[in-house]
Structure formats: structure tokens, C-alpha cells
Structure 1
Amino acid sequence: MLSRTLLCLAVTCASTPLLADTVWLKNGDRLTGTIKVLDGGKMMIETSYGGSIPLDWKQIKTLESDQKLLVKQGKSDEEVVKGLKPTDDGKVIVAGADAPRTVELASISQIIKPKPIITDLVWKGNIDAALDFQHAENDTDDYNIAFKTTARHGDWRHNAKGEYNRETQDDVVATDNWSAEYSIDRFLTEKFFWDGRITYKRDKIEDLDRQRTVGTGPGYQFWDDELGAFSMTTLLNRTDFEYRDGKKDNFYSTTLRWDYNRYLIGKKFEFFTNGEAGRPLSGVASYSLDAEVGLRYKVTDWASLNLKAEKNTINGSDQSDLDKTRYTAGFGVTW
């Protein structure tokens, strides 16, 4: 009898999800899993039986969670709560810092996981492979692959990115270049950090054959949470140009860099933009701009479709100006 009792208890415990969140819908259905995010009127719940399921916030009757969550009401009223408890239709009990209180679901605009200031290790990134669409009279074959990754460990953050582009027109190579960049950030406070980076660009077609840049300077992390991140950095750089005819330039410059991404509609869409605008301290070039803006659509938890526009401009160089705009569409992997 004792062995049977223990066996039944083990089966019961194994079949019952531990610390599972529960969402009750107005049509009578009930879903259990893990609440990932509420944003844009959509709640994402991760289930073991159906993956990530988006739910219309207006169709939710009440919900329950034992997670620590950041709950936002209105535009500015937000707090980290210990959990959520079910109650009457259209309401939920919030276990905040003070005594538990009942709030209307309609008053809640966002629910996300609070992100700790210091984490042991957080690694995220993406790889995009794309076709390049350009209007031209000749037949073209275009290839583009780009990656970007970030790893945060304590007060240190490592960033790396790279890109390769190749285009042929009537079997003649018209574009063949690649770039790589590594940077390391040291957070001095929760928001302020010091950045150091090195960038290398190689072009086998253009007059500007090689470009090397080393820079350092302060940065500010406006936010970095489940719904995206935004940071800006000011750098003092040393740049070396090497041209195809053997001539060289080197100069110092200041640049303003930005890196922004925002998840929308239950994290199904991601809007992103990053780049830099610079101006030399000498008269080699009047300004430079290297930027991209795009949109990703998550097909699965790891696969996405992307659209991107890129702008690369160097104006006022003694050897040559550079002004390129590219549009790409393709498939990507995110983590």
C-alpha cells in the first residue's frame, strides 16, 4: 500500500506543472504555461503543448502567476510585483510591495519580466541572410549575410558584429566587401558605461580598399529589457584609410553611435536601427554616416523574416566620395 501511495503521488506531481502561470479566457478556456510578455494588446504565453501562443488582452478573464513581473499601468505607473492572483472577471490581484490590491485588467498596458542590473551571463544575437534588391538594367546576383551578438557578464558587455556583401552584374563582380567589429563595455553605473572598440572594413572593388578604426568613449544605456534596448555612445576615434593606388590617410574623429530595437505586438515584430554619424577633427572628410534601419517578423521562436535599408556615406575624402543605399530582404535566426 505504501509503495502504491508513493507511486500515485509521484505520478500526480509529475503531471502537475510546477509554478505554471494560468490564464482564464472569457470563453471559458484555460491555458497554463509561462507568461512571457504583454505589449500592444497581445499577451504571449509559452506552453509545452503549443509553443508560444498570442492572446488578445481584451479576451482574458483573469490570470495567475508566481513570477516576479514588472506591471505597467497607464503611461508611467509601473512596479515590480511578486505575483498575480485570480479574482473577479476583468480583474487581477497584484501582490506588490504594499498590501495586495485588485486592479482592472483594462488598466494594465504592459507586463514584462524585470531585468536585473547585473546578470551572470546573458547572450543574445541574430544572423540575417538576404537577397539584395536593386533597380538596374543588367542582370544581378546579390548576396548578403550579417550577424550581431551581445554577451553580458556582470559589469562587462561584449559586442561583435560582421557583414559580407557580394554582387555580380552579368557575371562581373560589382560588389565584394566585408566588415567586422568588436567592442567591450564596462558599466560604471546602472546606465553609464565606457566603450572601447575596433572596426575593420575590406573592399575588393572600391577605391577605398581598407579602413581601420579604433575608438573609445562614454555611453548611456537608456533601457534594456524584454521589449528591447536603446543605447547611445560618443567616441573619439583614430581611423586609417588605405586606397587601391597605395595612398594612405589617417585622422582623428568624433562619432555618435546608436543602437535601438523594440519588440511590438507580443514580440512578433521587431523594429531596429543602429549606426554612427561622424566628423573628423582634421580636413580629410567633412562627415560620414553608416546606418541601417529594418523590421523583423518572428516566424518561430528562433526564425524570422527581415527587411533592411542601409546607408553608407563618406563625404569630402581627398581620394573619393562614397554614397551607397541598399535594400535587402531575407531570412534570419535569432537567439
Structure 2
Amino acid sequence: MLSRTLFCLAAFSAVSSAAFADTVWLKNGDRLTGTIKLLDSKKLLLQTDYGGSIPLSWDKVATLQRDKPVLVQRGEYESNIEVKSLKPASQGQVIVETEQQGVQTVPLASISQIVPPRPLLHDFSWKGNIDAALNYKRADKDTDDYDIDFKTQARHGMWRHNAQGSYDREKKDGAVSTDNWSLQYALDRFFNERFFWQGRLSYDRDKVEEISRQRNIGTGPGYQFWDNELGAFSLTALLARADYQYRDGDKDSFYSVSMKWDYNRYVYGQTVQLFTIGEVGRPLDNTASFSLDTDVGLRYKVTNWASLNLKASKQLVSGAKGSLNETQYSAGIGVTW
């Protein structure tokens, strides 16, 4: 009797799990269950317990089913609409249910994007990446080059914590040509899905350039354009106090205004990620006429957690004592979570 009861419970659990899972039917007759993560670039990404994230060609999908809400885009230039559910239909079609238009059957070919909505309030989440590039060259002129960067973000309810840092060191034929590191922490307080207020601290240390230390503390409003399975994009305007210290011991302090951006976008079914993060600013008292600090690059995901990366970094300070103009290019491996 006990074994029969346990068997019934196990069977009921399996049926319940299948009932709440998303289902994709392929044109070859196969049926796959899991969680639909997104549709983009004609790739449907299905998260499964048995095979991880599986990319499916959109033109090979016969129909699909999802009982939870999703954001659906029809056409390349139309805005997303919230769909209550997706129900299976005849091959090449799906039944969608919306608040405005009710229930209707649409061709799969007309759907260009599917993204599960991300609610404003949710449990604790943590994501980030670490990228490393190492280069050793032994020839007439020996070269050692190290470049390590990290970025992480933790979100709980209306609060978001952001931390990032980098370390760069280059040595050519025994002489150090680059040796610097930086750390930054920012705290965001959201008021709704889009608007937030940020407070930020940052510190930069350079042992080679004329500007040896930079300290910044700032605050200001921000706007989150989107944050979902396809990536994220936000802009933040900051009023900050900056302190510069030079190698000869001189110091400068001034207030500045700046615009900070943080953009990343997945393409080809989360295989390739394009990203750029940076800040452009100008002092209020014109101590320095212009400053720029930015990274631009891409990551290619080899597995769910490992990636190859290419990156270009630019740091520019013009109009101040010891003006800085430094550009670096790197290629390496990384870890993403």
C-alpha cells in the first residue's frame, strides 16, 4: 500500500510538472518541454532540465504552448504587446490571448520576438561576469600583459547593487608601461519599473600616468529602458565631486556633471553579447574640459557559463594638468553567471 501511494504521488508530481512546463512542437514531430526564455534573431531558446539551454530554429517550430504571460513582438518595428498565454494551433500557427484583442490565431512567421516579462518586485537575483586577458611574448622585446575585469549586479525588490573593477598591467622589455586598477560601487533605488536614483563611489589608481589617483562620489537620477532576457540598457545623470592627485603631489578638487550608460544586448539566441559601459563628464568650474571612460566589446558564449571576449577600452582626460589619453585592446576568456 505504501509503495502504491508513493508511486501515485510521483506520477502526480510528474504530470503536474509537465502541465506547468512550456511545450514546443517541431515540424519533424518531436515535442520538447521546458521554459521558453526568449525568441530573438529567429532562434527560440528553451531552458530544459535535461539539456540546458537549447536553441531552436524558429522556422523548424510547428507550434507551442505557454500558460504564463509573455511579451510578443510582431514585425521588426512594432512594439511589444503582453500576451496572457500561447496555445497550440495547426502547424505554423499559434493561438494568442491578449487583453485588447482577445483570442486570435496568428502565424508563427509574423512573430519576431518573445520575451518573458520581468516583474518589478522579485526575489534576490545575482548576475555578473569576469573577463581575463593574458599575453606573454618572448622575443627581442619581451612583453607581459594582464587585463582582468569584473562586473556584478544584485537585485532585491526596489534596490539594486552594482559593483565593477579592473586591473591592467603591461610590461615591455622590463619596463612597466601600464599599471592601474579601479573599483566602483553604485546603489540604485527604484521608484517604478523605469526610474531610479543612484548613489556612487569610485576610486582609480595609476602608477604610471601623471594623474595617479581619482576619487569620485556622486548621485543623480537614472532611467532603465529595458532589463530582460535580451539584455539591459540604462542611463544615469550624476552630480559628483572629483578629487585628482598627481604624481608630483599636486591635487585638484572640483564638482562635475556626467552621463553614465550601461548597455548589453544578446543576439543569435544568447550566443553573442554586445556590450558597452562608460561615462562622459565635464567639470562645473572648467578645471578639466572633458573626461571619458568607456569599454566596448563583445562576448561569445562557448558554454552556459564560459565565454570568449574582445574589448576596447578608452580613458581620456583633457584640459587638466597631466592630461590622460589611453586606449587598450584585449582578447581573452571569461565567466558569466
Shorter-chain TM-score range: over 0.9
What is the 5 A alignment of 1:143-222?
143-222=146-225
Q: CA deviation at 1:249?
A: 1.0
Q: CA deviation at 1:311?
A: 0.5
Q: Return the alpha-carbon distance in structure 1 between the equivalents of residues 45 and 136 of structure 2.
A: 34
Instruction: Give the equivalent residue in structure 2 for 1:49.
Output: 50
Q: Which moved more, 1:64-73 or 1:108-117?
A: 64-73
**Aligned length, in residue pairs:** 332
Q: Does 1:79 align with 2:62?
A: no
Q: Return the alpha-carbon distance in structure 1 between the equivalents of residues 278 and 310 of structure 2.
A: 16
Could you tell me which runs of 5 or more consecutive residues in structure 1 were left unpaired when the two chains were aligned: none
What is the 5 A alignment of 1:270-281?
270-281=273-284
Instruction: Assess, with a 3 A threshold, how the Cα gap between structure 1 residues 238 and 7 changes in structure 2: closer, same or farther.
Output: closer
Q: CA deviation at 1:334?
A: 1.1
Q: Return the alpha-carbon distance in structure 1 between the equivalents of residues 69 and 36 of structure 2.
A: 11
Q: Does 1:328 align with 2:330?
A: yes
Q: CA deviation at 1:4?
A: 6.0
Q: Is the 8 A contact 2:240 2:255 kept in 1?
A: yes
3-state SS of the aligned residue for 2:28? coil
Q: Is the 8 A contact 1:289 1:311 kept in 2?
A: yes
1:244 equivalent among 229, 244, 247: 247
Q: Return the alpha-carbon distance in structure 1 between the equivalents of residues 335 and 5 of structure 2.
A: 45
Q: CA deviation at 1:132?
A: 6.0
What is the CA deviation profile of residues 213-251 of structure 1, one whole-angstrom value per residue up to 9, with x for unaligned ones? 111111111111221111111111111111111111111
Instruction: Give the equivalent residue in structure 1 for 2:96.
Output: 94
Q: CA deviation at 1:161?
A: 0.5
3-state SS of the aligned residue for 2:53? strand
Q: Is the 8 A contact 2:158 2:190 kept in 1?
A: yes
| Identity score, percent | 58
What is the CA deviation profile of residues 115-135 of structure 1, one whole-angstrom value per residue up to 9, with x for unaligned ones? 11222322211111113699x
Q: Is the 8 A contact 2:280 2:291 kept in 1?
A: yes
Instruction: Assess, with a 3 A threshold, how the Cα gap between structure 1 residues 194 and 321 changes in structure 2: closer, same or farther.
Output: same
Q: CA deviation at 1:99?
A: 3.5
Could you tell me which runs of 5 or more consecutive residues in structure 2 were left unpaired when the two chains were aligned: none
Instruction: Give the equivalent residue in structure 2 for 1:234.
Output: 237
What one-letter code is carried by the residue in structure 1 that aligns with 2:67? D
What one-letter code is carried by the residue in structure 2 that aligns with 1:123? W
Q: CA deviation at 1:15?
A: 4.9
TM-score, length-scaled by structure 1: 0.93
What is the CA deviation profile of residues 21-41 of structure 1, one whole-angstrom value per residue up to 9, with x for unaligned ones? 221111222222221110010
| Displaced runs of 4 or more, over 6 A | none
Q: Is the 8 A contact 1:199 1:214 kept in 2?
A: yes
What is the 5 A alignment of 1:99-110?
99-110=102-113
What one-letter code is carried by the residue in structure 1 that aligns with 2:11? T
Q: Return the alpha-carbon distance in structure 1 between the equivalents of residues 222 and 135 of structure 2.
A: 33
Q: Return the alpha-carbon distance in structure 2 between the equivalents of residues 45 and 32 of structure 1.
A: 8
Q: CA RMSD for the aligned pairs?
A: 2.0
What one-letter code is carried by the residue in structure 1 that aligns with 2:265? R
Q: CA deviation at 1:207?
A: 2.0
Q: CA deviation at 1:187?
A: 1.9
What one-letter code is carried by the residue in structure 2 that aligns with 1:212? R
Q: Is the 8 A contact 1:294 1:306 kept in 2?
A: yes
Q: Is the 8 A contact 1:71 1:110 kept in 2?
A: yes
Q: Return the alpha-carbon distance in structure 2 between the equivalents of residues 132 and 252 of structure 1.
A: 39
Instruction: Give the equivalent residue in structure 1 for 2:301.
Output: 298
3-state SS of the aligned residue for 2:24? strand
Q: Does 1:317 align with 2:320?
A: yes
What one-letter code is carried by the residue in structure 2 that aligns with 1:28? G
3-state SS of the aligned residue for 2:80? strand
3-state SS of the aligned residue for 1:49? coil
3-state SS of the aligned residue for 1:114? coil
TM-score, length-scaled by structure 2: 0.92
Q: Does 1:258 align with 2:261?
A: yes
Q: Return the alpha-carbon distance in structure 2 between the equivalents of residues 184 and 167 of structure 1.
A: 32
Q: CA deviation at 1:137?
A: 8.2
Q: Does 1:61 align with 2:57?
A: no
